[in-house]
Chain A
Amino acid sequence: MVEHEARRVGLLVTCLVDLIRPTVAFAAVKLMEDARCIVEVPRQSCCGQPAFNSGDRTTTREIAAQVIEAFEPFDYVVAPSGSCAGMLKVHYPELFRGDPNWQPRADAFAAKSHELVAFLVDVCGVTRVAARLEATATYHDSCSGLRELGVHDQPRRLLRTVAGLRLAEMRDANVCCGFGGTFCVKYPDISNAIVGKKAANIAATGAGLLLAGDLGCLMNMAGKLHREGSGIEARHVAEVLAGMTQEPAIGLPAIDAADAEAAGAKPTVTKPTATKPTATKPTATKPTGARTGAQR
């Protein structure tokens, strides 16, 4: 396509973001629009991964064909999830291998499909974001994004440009959190043991904020942290990059009306989202990292 023409992007919302946390998709839209993309959202359900990983190829193919058709008009398909993007980019071609009608369509679809942050950095050439957040964050590399798509440096590179944000790497950031889609409900005991180790590694960084690129992993880790009584907050990396952190963190109750009003403001707002006053009042000039007193 022509260099100066805006990229036309179809957003694959992902079923979890659609149902549980629409903010992530709005953040994705903002980031891509800031990168001069035209973003549209065709009607969609799911990428088919639950069926694929349960061994139901027939249903998976049916869903994949439906997704490929829905996104055919777009230059790019972008998902705010390494796992779903991996499904589109790596596994769709696998599903239709040897099919003379569908293989070329699946291959072309795969070639234009991207994980959100990788798309911003590698395709759109985004080098910095205009967001601010006073916090110390730790970033978890979700498995599919990391190992199927090579998403590792891109989110860290952009996070370093968020004013006020400090990154504290956790031990074994590249190790699975134990979510694994249906795995976490089919083998809850094992999943619990794995996410328990992850929660300990997260806590050991002293960060008050956990970030990752996949809502499934985040729900798993946040759910475990909450169950353990931890005050560490969890957000999708897109929320922070887009400066859309006014919404309460994953699994926290909705903020009151006054705060909701502020939620519409520009992302340069430094007001913490905590509903109760914190001991040290964060200011724009002196980062405290203790947004909600969650660190201790």
Chain B
Amino acid sequence: MTLASHIATSSRFKDNARAALADADLQDALSFVEVNFIARRREVADRLPEFEALRDSARDIKDHTLAHLDLYLEAYEERLIAQGGHLHYAVTAQDAREIILDICRGAGATTVTKGKSMVAEEIGLNDFLEGNGITPVETDLGEYIIQLRHELPSHIIAPAVHLTKAQIEDEFRRAHTHLPAARNLDEPTSLLAEARGVLREKFLAADVGITGANFLVAETGTSVIVTNEGNGDLTQTLPRVHIVLASLEKLVPTLEDLAQLLRVLARSATGQEMSVYTTLSTGPRRPDDPDGPGEYHVVLLDNGRSSMIGGAFRDMLRCIRCGACMNHCPVYHAVGGHAYGWVYPGPMGAVLTPSLIGIDKAGHLPNASTFCGRCEEVCPVRIPLPRLMRSWREREFERHLSPATVRGGLALWAFFATRPRLYGLATAMAARLLGWAGRARGRFSWLPLASGWTRCRDFPAPHGETFQSRWKRREKAPLPRPGHAP
């Protein structure tokens, strides 16, 4: 079995988007995001008077942690080791993959269960393990579904949100051939029950459990995951070995800080006050514990993040992966997550992806935004996403990576815009010409060099004279009655 590759297709964003817009099932599925996530978040945020203050606090906690990341990393490591855990620093994705493979081999593992982890997607862990003879089994329902379909997640908290219920039912019937063909899968709960039944055996058979972490707490050396299905708990308590794979910005100083961040996380993500399960793991099983893993490893991934700390994109490291930005993004609503072509979609992906795979490959992502600002409006840690996307556009422009047509058009426009007198003459001519050409219909359904506009909509014809030239006449002539259009 070959799993979906994590090779980026972000440079083909336009083609991806076109395919997504033509995909009726996808468009049907996406309406869930647009309607449900937004309404639920609104409702739960409105119920909490201190929600906006909590967002400020969440931003400040993450900023503070990033400013003193070295200290908190040291504190975290010390606590973790004191409790019998192992910490592995992974500078690159390759390092992380190899560390994890070594741990799995050391445990003699043939099967690993996995809790939902975007960092595991980022490093392409499943492909790698499989290529090395170890079978990864996703246990989050959404991740399980897309693993069956050999796809990447299309959303950071709802990986299979691009699928309709009917598509999932088809997939289950195709994959679960050991079950009666005539079984009823009409209800979402029956799909869930079926996945649970199938996964239960995998949980018990797994040698190693790999989870991500929503947070790492420096004060106690604890890793924290939030889930709604309880699959994470089974993944990390049943196997002999538990590996936590986390990127280094997941660190927070104290349990108190964790509590604050949890209050904005689920509200922003799913519109819940709390996720159903919030699980704290602090080291391997102790002698008196009734259960838990014999070994507890934390693989801390950098993969370019430490170089973001001192740079223009530092604010992005505050991200707590709630998905609110994509839930509120009109572009995401239109094309879904796969069009973005890599692991992280939506506005947060448009900022993070160029940091991780390069602006030369991901240039479309920060450009494919209307800058409507809704993402920033809902971000629980107040990341200025439009400003950061614009910063990427600036880098792209400075490095001459933007398309020649865009640069040429911009240069021509700038030539006039920086010379107001000449600009006035040119626009007066354009207004006259276009006004004359469009006087009968009042609008154009085709214009030279404007097919991007006129393919989908009409363009209004100018009145024939610019405001500034009319105004000049008004200034020369005796003043007409105020408000009287000449």
Task: Give the B-binding residues of A (Cβ under 8 A).
Answer: 13, 15, 17-23, 25-27, 29-31, 33-34, 41, 43-46, 48, 50-57, 59, 62-63, 66, 70, 94, 143-144, 147-148, 174-176, 178-195, 219-220, 222-224, 226-227, 242, 244, 247-248, 250-254, 263-264, 267
Contact = CB atoms under 8 A, between A and B. Distances in A.
A175 B393 CA distance: 23
Interface in B463-486: 463, 465-468, 470-471, 482-486
B483 A194 contact: no
Interface stretch (B267-275, B295-303, B368-376): B368-376
Contacts of B442: 248, 251-254
A56 B394 CA distance: 6
Nearest to B460: A251
Contacts of B486: 26
Given A56-B410, A194-B331, A263 B485 contact: yes
B440 A185 contact: no
A223 B334 contact: no
B68 interface: no
A179 B397 CA distance: 22
A267 to B, nearest CB: 8
Contact of B421 (A21, A43, A51): A43
Contact of B377 (A15, A29, A53, A147): A147
Given A219-B460, A222-B460, A223-B458, A45 B397 contact: no
Given A226-B458, A253-B440, A178 B370 contact: yes
Contacts of B406: 54, 182, 186
Contacts of A182: 406
Interface string B385-401: 00100101111111000
B455 interface: yes
A227 to B, nearest CB: 5
A218 B242 CA distance: 56
B414 interface: yes
Q: Which 5 A-B pairs have the closest CB atoms?
A: A30-B483, A180-B370, A223-B457, A185-B452, A55-B397
B482 A147 contact: no
Nearest to A65: B418
A255 to B, nearest CB: 10
Contact of B410 (A54, A94, A222): A54
B418 A226 contact: no
Interface stretch (B167-175, B318-326, B423-431): B423-431
Contact of A26 (B368, B369, B483): B483
A143 B418 contact: no
Contacts of A43: 420-421, 424, 468
Given A184-B452, A190-B17, A21 B460 contact: yes
Q: Is the interface of A mostly helix, strand, loop or mixed?
A: helix
Contact of B331 (A46, A51, A66, A190): A190
Contacts of A185: 450, 452-453
A63 B393 CA distance: 18
Contact of A251 (B394, B421, B443, B456): B443
Given A19-B466, A186-B406, A188-B453, A251 B458 contact: yes
Interface of B: 14, 17-18, 21, 330-331, 333-335, 367-374, 376-377, 387, 390, 392-398, 402, 406, 410, 413-414, 416-421, 423-424, 427, 430-431, 439-443, 445, 450, 452-453, 455-463, 465-468, 470-471, 482-486
Q: Which has the most chain B C-beta neighbours within 10 Å: A34, A44, A45, A267? A: A45
A20 B440 CA distance: 15
A252 B459 CA distance: 10
A66 B369 contact: no
Nearest to A29: B483
Contacts of A143: 370-374
A148 B386 CA distance: 12
25 contacts: A22-B465, A26-B470, A31-B483, A34-B482, A45-B417, A45-B424, A46-B423, A51-B410, A54-B393, A54-B406, A56-B414, A59-B417, A143-B373, A178-B330, A186-B368, A186-B406, A188-B455, A194-B330, A223-B457, A227-B445, A227-B458, A244-B485, A247-B485, A254-B439, A254-B442
B467 A189 contact: no
Nearest to B440: A253
A92 to B, nearest CB: 14
A223 B453 contact: yes
A220 B457 contact: yes
Contacts of B439: 253-254
Contacts of A41: 467-468, 471
Q: Which of B368, B430, B471 has most chain A Cβ within 10 Å?
A: B471
A22 B467 contact: yes
A226 B465 contact: no
Contact of B420 (A53, A59, A66, A144): A66
Nearest to B413: A50
A48 B331 contact: no
Nearest to A31: B483
A242 B398 CA distance: 44
A62 B411 CA distance: 13
A247 B460 CA distance: 13
Nearest to A54: B410
Contacts of A181: 370-371
